[in-house]
Structures are given as structure tokens and as C-alpha cells.
């Protein structure tokens, strides 16, 4: 949700910032802008509504001066529509200070009223502009940008990453953050700031995450971090584990195409090195999540949003079965308002690809404040959620750039399975032989997934192109197939803008079956008959029920499932696998279908309308 990049150093910052914005565009793409302190010491800005291409075009028409200090922003609108005027940066009245912002300043209305009463004329409808005016006024008092930040951040409520440059301080960018991400990139004679490391990873892999309520001042040869009161902070430097190439399209038509193809590796990398003698061992979860503590946990709550919440729903079945502990899944944004019962014997596990989703972060903070133990399942090194949790299990999916989550989803399920197996072992709920068999099944899943992706793609592409005019698609599943149905529907909504609903197949007869009419397309995720004949039989009955009402059934079923073949208008076969790895294989065809339907409709697969990759507002 809004991408931020800043640079100080000897290079031409405009090109460098535009390249950084290109890498961050997935965070928001309704408008973009840059501010440069040029070599003559003037502050200049360019900004445009629309995707980054519009700003690039503007820079061709009206080039901006060269200079070694600059910042850039790609926006996902909250306050004020996506117009040129509302695009960031926002300037102070005298035009000497430029600000970019990610987040929401919740008390902006009262701050704006105060400024208006004082004669300030606002030029945009954004909450951000109040920060520009407040910083300019504070700067006039102290003559120091960092000091001005200290003054102003104390007055802001809400979530913000705020960056500014001032014409009178060339070679300086100051940033502050609360509940919104900011990472420093450490270079040689140059330094960077970014919403995430993608902003600068092609220039340096040395990074420091700016902590909660901290201010950072970067110059070409120095980086200084302080808390909001001015106290010195030692940042923890880490090395970015992936290189710039991992976040490039590399010849694929879309990032999403690439990322679906990367799923087998994402899955394998998440499992890599986490077993000993065939058993899962998570040895570095920290003191608050020691084996002794986890053995005494009485309840687990999984908190997440969107796709990550469906990964949680899949894992709920497994963790409860293996660790014999009650598991609930809560949408992160509902969690705190429900005033959940929490204590130190409750383990709250958050699941987040970005590690910055504000709803999930707030849920984690709420859990901690009420004494619960917190574990993060996250794909982003150094992100806020793992840093604010007692422990972390990283998914090693590599950077996910397409807005629609794909490889992160399968690796989240895998990481949660690891947690479930770990808990099953230390709680004595799972015997070693069963544990080893489950691990074997998991380790075999990446190659089976590779085969599903390779074998089914062309067929699904044809299907999707036939269905380019479809207005409604339903998805059904039971047990771990149910969240897969939900995920299939979400993918279709977000990418192809088609009405899509996922249902537990058993729920259909309680109302939703009224939606089924002649020609209604229904995807059905069918469990293997080898694992539970009863479950399988129920799903086959559900298929009969919808076919009797005219549905067109697309079944995702185990190869050779004779009970389904006669009733499926289309069959997407899956290789034989265990019951817990079925969802990992079944989701890929649904992801491919959504991608190809969006393609067939000529839509932007990687950047669907109204969305952003990392949702850092509540």
C-alpha cells in the first residue's frame, strides 16, 4: 500500500528512484511522483495520476533536473481520489519541502482545521498534506529537518511512513515510521530508504529495518536512527537473502505466471533444512516459544487476512489433528474488536506474506498486549510482524510481486504444517511413524505440484478462453478442499472481476444451491477416495445434486477417480498424494484459471484494479 523510495549519494537520483518505484509498483499503482533536489539546489517535483508509465512519460515531456537527493512514491489512494493533485510528493506552501507518505494520519481533519485557521491554503484532498505544512513550520523554528520530524510525529495519530527532503538541506532525507514499513539500504558513499528492500536491492543487499516510532536521517556517508524523543537507536543490519533478479519478470508474460511456476521451489525451500531424522524440528523459535512452553499451550488462534487466512483455514484441520489442541482461525481485522479471550497459554499464529499487513499487525499487537504468545509465519525478512512477534517461521518463497498471492499461499500452508508437526511431536500427540510418513508426503509434494502446473496449464488456458464471457463461477470443496474453494473464488474475483463464491459443499443445500441454474460453472475440489471414502462419496453426491440442476462441473480430482469421471464436464487430474498435500496441488489449477481468464478478458493480471500488494492501512 504505497511504495516509497529515497536516495542520497553521488548518482543521478531521478533514474535510480524511478527504477526503485518500478520494483515497488505492486504496492500501489494509482498515481506516482518524485521530488529531486537538483544540482543548483532547487527542489523540483513531477507527479501524475495513473500507473508509473504515466509519470515516466511526464518525465520525458518535462525532464527533471539532475541531483543526488530525491524521493519517490507510488500511491494506493486512501484520502482523496487518484488525481495528479493528490499524487505525492506534497509540498509546503513555500515549495521548499517535499513529503511522501504511506499510511493514514487519522487526526488529519483536526490538524487541517488548525492549519486552515492559520491561513494555510491546501492544494490536495490528502491527509498527507498536513504533514508537509506542519514539517515546514517546525523547520522554520529549528532549521533542522530531523528536529522538525521529532516535533511533528508527536502530533500525528494513525499509521505512517513519512519521508521528507528540504531545499535547505541537500544530501539529507529524513524518514519516520509508526505501524508502516521503512527499510534502510546501506551503500558505499550513498544510502537508500524504501518501503521494502525491493526498492534498493539492485544496489545493495545490506539492510536495516527502521523500528516502530523511530526517525532515520540518511546522508551519503551516514545513517542515524533515533527514537521519537531523540534517543540513539542501534539498528540491526541484515543481508537481503535474495537478489534483484528474483524480483524480475525474467521473460514471463506476468509476474503471476512466473510465481505460479515457482511454487514447487517455494514449497521445497520452505521445507528445506527443517527436518532431522525424518521429523520436523523448529529449534530457533525463541525463549517465549520453547518446547516446554509450546507443550503447555491450550489453544491456538490463527490470524490473517485474504489468501493468508485461507492458508490458515487449511492448516487448522492439520494442526488440530496432529497436535490435538483446539485451533481457531480469525480474520485479523475482526480479532481485536471481538475482545477475544487470551492468556499466556494461547498461541496466536499470524500468517502474512508481506509481514506488514496492518490488520494482521494490529491483531498481533493486541494478542501480545493481552499476554498471548505470538508466532509469525512470514515471507519477508525483517518485516514488522515477525519483529513484533515472539518467534518466526519464515516461508522461503522468495519475493512475490504479483498482487494475487500464489507461491506465498502454498508455502504458508507448508510452514503451518511444519508448526503443526513440531507441536505434535513435542506435545506427544503424534507418533514418530505417522510423523515421518507425513513428512515424506510433504517432501514429495513439490515435484507433484510441478507436474500439475506443467500438465494442466494449456488445458485450463483453453477452458478459460472459452469462458471469457462468464459472469459467475462457483467453487465447492469439503474439509481442506473448502478453503481451496474459497481461494479459487478470491483469485477469480480479484483478477477477472467476475462474481465468484466458494462454499463448503455440504452447505450448498442450505441455500446457495438456489444460485445453480442451467450452464452455471461450478469448480469442485474432490478429495481422494483412498483417504476417506465417506468424504469422497459426499462430494460425489454434491456433484450429482448440482448437475441435476444444470451446472457445468469442472472437477479437480485424483487421476483415475472413476466415481467422478462420468459426472464431470471437465476433469483436471491430480497425481496420487496424501490427504494433507491435496490442497497444495489442487489450488494451482484454480490460480491458473483466474490468471488465464483475466488474460482472456485483456486485464492487467499483476496489478488488478483497486488493489495493492501490501495492505498497510486498517
- 270 forms part of the interface with ligand M6R (CB under 6 A): no
78 binds ligand M6R (CB under 6 A): no
Phi-psi region of 552 (alpha: psi -120 to 50; beta: other; left: phi over 0): beta
Nearer of residues 103 and 527 to ligand M6R, judged by Cβ: 103
Question: CB of 472: closest distance to ligand M6R in angstroms?
Answer: 20
Active site residues: 2, 613
403 lines the binding site for ligand M6R (CB under 6 A): yes
Q: Return the C-alpha cell found at 429.
A: 500427540
404 binds ligand M6R (CB under 6 A): yes
Instruction: Name the residue among 553, 184, 567, 525 with its Cα closest to residue 382.
Output: 184
The Cα 390–Cα 290 span in angstroms is 10
Q: Which residue, 259 or 390, has its beta carbon nearer to ligand M6R?
A: 259
- DSSP SS3 for 275: strand
For residues 71 and 196, what is the distance between their CA atoms, to the nearest angstrom?
Answer: 14
Residue 376 Cβ vs ligand M6R, minimum distance, rounded to whole Å: 10
317 contacts: CB under 8 Å, gap ≥ 6: 479, 480
Q: Is 354 in the site for ligand M6R (CB under 6 A)?
A: yes
User: Quick one: which of 42, 18, 9, 302 has its CA closest to 172?
Assistant: 9
Contact residue for ligand M6R among 124, 146, 270, 353 (CB under 6 A): 353
Residue 491, phi then psi, degrees to nearest 5: -60, -45
Interface pick for ligand M6R out of 305, 363, 364, 377 (rule CB under 6 A): 305
615 binds ligand M6R (CB under 6 A): yes
How far apart are the C-alpha atoms of 259 and 615, rounded to whole Å?
A: 20
Contact mark string toward ligand M6R, 472..511, x via CB under 6 A = ----------------------x-----------------
- Nearest to ligand M6R of 403, 484 (CB atom): 403
Is residue 456 part of the contact set for ligand M6R (CB under 6 A)? no
Judged by CB under 6 A, the residue of 128, 352, 365, 384 near ligand M6R is 352
Q: 407-426 vs 432-466: helix axis angle to the nearest 10?
A: 160
Quick one: cell of 414? 507448508
Contacts of 42 (CB under 8 A, 6+ apart): 65, 167
- Candidate segments 124-132, 145-153, 251-259, 398-406, binder of ligand M6R by CB under 6 A: 398-406
Residue with smaller CB distance to ligand M6R, 411 or 520: 411
Q: Give the range of 80-88, 275-283, 304-312, 313-321 binding ligand M6R by CB under 6 A.
A: 304-312
374 binds ligand M6R (CB under 6 A): no
Taking the complex as a whole, the smallest distance from the CB of residue 307 to ligand M6R amounts, in Å, to: 3
Collapsing DSSP to helix, strand or coil, 227 comes out as strand
Q: Which helix (H) or strand (E) holds 219?
A: strand 214-219
Q: How far is the CB of 411 from ligand M6R (least distance, A)?
A: 11
Q: Whole-number minimum distance, CB 404 to ligand M6R, in Å?
A: 4
Nearer to ligand M6R, 124 or 395 (CB): 395
- CB 304 → ligand M6R: shortest distance, Å? 6
DSSP secondary structure code for residue 29 in this structure: -
Asked whether position 405 contacts ligand M6R by CB under 6 A, the answer is: yes
Instruction: Answer yes or no: are the C-beta atoms of 476 and 485 closer than 8 Å.
Output: yes
Sequence-distant (6+) residues with CB within 8 A of 252 are: 258, 261
Number of chain residues interacting with ligand M6R (CB under 6 A): 15
Q: Is residue 306 close enough to count as binding ligand M6R by CB under 6 A?
A: yes
The contacts of residue 284 (CB under 8 Å, 6+ apart) are 391
Number of residues that make up the chain: 618
How many of the other CB atoms lie within 10 Å of CB of 534? Answer: 8
Q: Does 607 bind ligand M6R (CB under 6 A)?
A: no
Are the C-beta atoms of residues 349 and 302 closer than 8 Å to each other? Answer: yes
Asked whether position 357 contacts ligand M6R by CB under 6 A, the answer is: yes
Handedness of CA 288, 291, 297, 299 (dihedral sign): positive
Beta carbon nearer to ligand M6R, 577 or 599: 599
Interacting span for ligand M6R (CB under 6 A) from 303-311, 335-343, 460-468, 532-540: 303-311
Q: Which stretch binds ligand M6R (CB under 6 A): 145-153, 267-275, 351-359, 464-472?
A: 351-359
Tell me the window of 101-109, 314-322, 399-407, 459-467 that interacts with ligand M6R (CB under 6 A).
Answer: 399-407
Please identify, among the stretches 316-324, 365-373, 401-409, 478-486, the one whose residues bind ligand M6R according to the rule CB under 6 A. 401-409
Which of 246/279 has CB closer to ligand M6R?
246
Smaller CB separation from ligand M6R, 353 or 365: 353
Nearest residue to 195 (alpha-carbon basis) of 17, 12, 412, 386: 17
Residue 209 binding ligand M6R, by CB under 6 A: no
Q: ω into residue 89 within 30 of 0, thus cis?
A: yes
* Residue 40, Ramachandran bin (φ over 0: left; ψ between -120 and 50: alpha; else beta): alpha
Give the cell for residue 24.
515497488
**Residue 325 or 594: which CB sits closer to ligand M6R?**
594
Using CB under 6 A as the binding rule, whether residue 360 contacts ligand M6R is answered as yes
* CB burial of residue 450 (10 Å; 0-12, 13-18, 19+): middle
Q: Which is nearer to ligand M6R, 7 or 475 (CB)?
A: 475
Q: Which residues bind ligand M6R (CB under 6 A)?
A: 305-308, 352-354, 357, 360, 403-405, 494, 614-615
Amino acid at each position: 500500500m504505497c511504495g516509497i523510495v529515497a536516495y542520497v549519494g553521488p548518482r543521478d537520483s531521478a533514474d535510480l528512484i524511478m527504477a526503485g518505484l518500478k520494483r515497488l509498483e505492486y504496492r500501489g499503482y494509482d498515481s506516482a511522483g518524485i521530488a529531486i533536489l537538483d544540482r543548483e539546489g532547487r527542489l523540483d517535483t513531477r507527479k501524475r495520476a495513473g500507473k508509473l508509465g504515466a509519470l515516466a512519460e511526464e518525465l520525458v515531456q518535462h525532464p527533471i533536473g539532475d541531483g543526488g537527493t530525491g524521493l519517490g512514491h507510488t500511491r494506493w489512494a486512501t484520502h482523496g481520489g487518484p488525481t495528479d493533485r493528490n499524487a505525492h510528493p506534497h509540498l509546503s506552501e513555500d515549495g521548499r519541502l517535499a513529503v511522501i507518505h504511506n499510511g493514514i494520519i487519522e487526526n488529519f481533519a483536526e490538524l487541517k482545521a488548525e492549519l486552515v485557521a492559520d491561513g494555510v491554503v491546501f492544494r490536495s484532498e490528502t491527509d498527507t498534506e498536513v504533514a508537509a505544512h506542519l514539517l515546514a513550520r517546525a523547520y522554520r523554528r529549528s532549521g533542522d529537518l530531523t528536529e522538525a520530524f521529532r516535533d511533528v510525529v508527536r502530533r500525528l495519530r494513525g499509521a505512517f511512513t513519512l519521508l521528507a527532503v528540504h531545499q535547505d538541506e541537500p544530501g539529507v532525507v529524513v524518514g519516520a515510521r509508526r505501524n508502516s514499513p521503512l527499510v534502510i539500504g546501506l551503500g558505499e558513499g550513498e544510502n537508500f530508504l524504501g518501503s521494502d528492500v525491493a526498492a534498493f536491492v539492485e544496489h545493495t543487499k545490506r539492510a536495516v529495518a527502521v523500528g516502530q516510532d523511530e526517525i532515520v536521517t540518511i546522508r551519503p556517508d551516514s545513517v542515524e536512527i533515533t527514537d521519537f524523543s531523540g534517543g540513539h537507536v542501534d539498528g540491526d543490519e541484515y543481508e537481503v537473502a535474495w537478489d534483484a533478479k528474483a524480483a524480475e519478470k525474467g521473460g514471463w508474460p506476468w509476474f503471476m505466471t512466473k510465481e505460479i511456476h515457482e511454487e514447487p521451489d517455494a514449497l521445497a525451500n520452505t521445507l528445506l533444512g527443517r527436518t532431522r531424522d525424518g521429523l520436523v524440528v523448529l529449534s530457533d523459535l525463541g525463549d517465549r516459544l520453547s518446547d516446554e512452553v509450546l507443550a503447555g499451550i491450550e489453544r491456538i488462534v490463527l490470524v490473517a487476512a485474504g489468501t493468508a487466512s485461507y492458508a490458515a483455514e487449511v492448516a487448522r484441520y492439520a494442526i488440530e489433528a496432529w497436535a490435538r489442541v483446539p485451533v481457531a482461525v480469525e480474520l485479523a481485522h475482526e480479532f481485536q474488536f471481538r475482545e477475544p479471550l487470551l492468556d499466556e497459554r494461547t498461541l496466536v499464529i499470524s500468517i502474512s506474506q508481506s509481514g506488514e499487513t496492518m490488520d494482521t499487525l494490529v491483531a498481533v499487537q493486541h494478542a501480545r498486549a493481552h499476554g498471548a504468545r505470538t508466532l509469525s509465519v512470514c515471507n519477508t525478512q525483517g518485516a514488522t510482524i515477525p519483529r513484533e512477534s515472539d518467534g518466526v517461521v519464515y516461508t522461503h518463497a522468495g519475493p512475490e510481486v504479483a498482487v494475487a498471492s500464489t507461491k506465498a499461499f502454498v508455502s504458508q500452508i507448508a510452514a503451518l504444517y511444519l508448526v503443526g508437526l513440531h507441536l505434535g511431536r513435542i506435545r506427544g500427540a503424534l507418533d514418530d511413524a505417522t510423523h515421518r510418513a507425513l513428512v515424506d508426503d510433504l517432501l514429495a509434494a513439490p515435484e507433484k505440484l510441478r507436474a500439475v502446473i506443467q500438465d494442466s496449464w494449456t488445458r485450463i488456458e483453453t477452458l478459460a478462453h472459452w469462458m471469457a464471457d462468464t459472469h459467475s463461477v462457483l467453487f465447492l470443496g469439503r474439509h481442506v478442499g473448502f478453503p481451496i474453494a474459497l481461494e479459487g473464488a478470491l483469485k477469480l474475483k480479484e483478477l477477472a472481476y467476475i462474481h465468484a463464491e466458494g462454499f463448503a459443499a455440504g452447505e450448498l443445500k442450505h441455500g446457495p444451491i438456489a444460485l445453480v441454474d442451467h450452464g452455471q460453472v461450478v469448480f469442485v475440489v474432490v478429495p481422494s477416495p483412498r483417504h476417506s471414502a465417506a468424504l469422497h462419496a459426499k462430494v460425489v453426491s454434491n456433484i450429482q445434486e448440482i448437475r441435476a440442476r444444470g451446472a457445468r462441473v469442472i472437477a479437480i480430482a485424483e487421476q483415475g477417480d472413476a466415481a467422478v469421471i462420468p459426472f464431470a464436464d471437465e476433469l483436471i487430474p491430480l497425481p496420487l498424494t496424501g490427504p494433507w498435500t491435496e490442497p497444495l496441488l489442487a489450488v494451482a489449477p484454480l490460480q491458473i484459471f483466474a490468471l488465464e481468464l483475466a488474460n482472456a478478458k485483456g486485464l492487467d493480471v499483476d496489478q488488478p484494479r483497486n488493489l495493492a500488494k501490501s495492505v498497510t492501512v486498517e
